């Protein structure tokens, strides 16, 4: 293995240990953060819809950054290459495949009820007004209901216990 100027031995033995230079590493980090920001929770708070076209554009930006950082290409066994090529098929059997749910095998749960495909949300929840907020979770079909959300958040619970402790004194 040819050792470049930035050589760092890989303890897992999967990689050559030759990372890209600092400038290219920064470009890669910036593109990944851009994708994470696009699919993050704050998009829901800002009420912005995700589109597959924009997600594909973000992934293509990461592909371009990887190509710039590694012009000779990544080896076939590299997980980054597998994730960029075809994430669902090629990452099966790796530790990363647990985060994927196939669209045909997905099940949507809200209010401890499973949504049936083809039915409207209003059929399941009733005619809610537009200010109604529900928390829905995706699971694989046949695994049962996901864990319930706590009624009181951790921060609220800590504040309440501090208040009651102070009141007791």
Residue 87 has pLDDT above 70, yes or no: no
Q: Which pair of structure tokens corresponds to residue 96?
A: 């990363």
Q: Residue 163: which pLDDT band, with cuts at 50, 70 and 90?
A: very high
Q: What is the pLDDT of residue 29?
A: 92
Among 102, 62, 93, 58, smallest CA distance to 80 is for 62
Q: What is the pLDDT of residue 158?
A: 92
Q: What is the pLDDT of residue 17?
A: 67
pTM to 2 decimal places: 0.57
CA 7/CA 138 separation, integer angstroms: 42
Residue 83 has pLDDT above 70, yes or no: yes
Cβ neighbours of residue 10 closer than 8 Å, sequence gap 6 or more: 16, 17
CA 2/CA 125 separation, integer angstroms: 61
Q: With contact defined as beta carbons under 8 Å apart, do 94 and 79 qualify?
A: yes
At 70, is the secondary structure helix, strand, or coil?
coil
Kindly report, residue by residue over 18-76, the tens digit of the pLDDT: 778 888 889 999 999 998 898 888 888 888 888 888 888 988 898 899 888 888 777 77
Q: Which pair of structure tokens corresponds to residue 22?
A: 């600092």
Residue 159 has pLDDT above 90, yes or no: yes
Q: Residue 92: which pLDDT band, with cuts at 50, 70 and 90?
A: low
Ranges of H-type helices in the chain: 22-38, 42-45, 52-69, 79-85, 87-90, 121-125, 154-168
Q: Residue 100: which pLDDT band, with cuts at 50, 70 and 90?
A: low
Among 24, 17, 26, smallest CA distance to 75 is for 17
Residue 169 has pLDDT above 80, yes or no: no
């Amino acid at each position: 293995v040819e050792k470049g100027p930035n050589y760092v031995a890989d303890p897992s033995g999967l990689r050559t240990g030759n990372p890209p230079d600092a400038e290219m590493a920064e470009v890669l980090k910036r593109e990944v953060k851009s994708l994470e920001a696009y699919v993050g929770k704050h998009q829901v708070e800002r009420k912005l819809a995700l589109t597959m076209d924009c997600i594909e554009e973000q992934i293509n930006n990461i592909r371009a950054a990887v190509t710039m950082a590694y012009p000779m290409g990544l080896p076939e066994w590299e997980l980054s290459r597998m994730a960029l090529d075809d994430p669902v098929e090629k990452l099966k059997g790796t530790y990363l495949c647990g985060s994927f749910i196939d669209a045909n095998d997905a099940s949507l749960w809200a209010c401890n009820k499973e949504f049936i495909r083809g039915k409207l949300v209003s059929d399941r929840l009733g005619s809610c007004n537009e200010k109604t907020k529900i928390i829905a979770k995706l699971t694989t079909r046949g695994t049962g209901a996901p864990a319930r959300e706590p009624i009181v958040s951790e921060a609220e619970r800590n504040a309440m216990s501090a208040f009651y402790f102070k009141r007791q004194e």
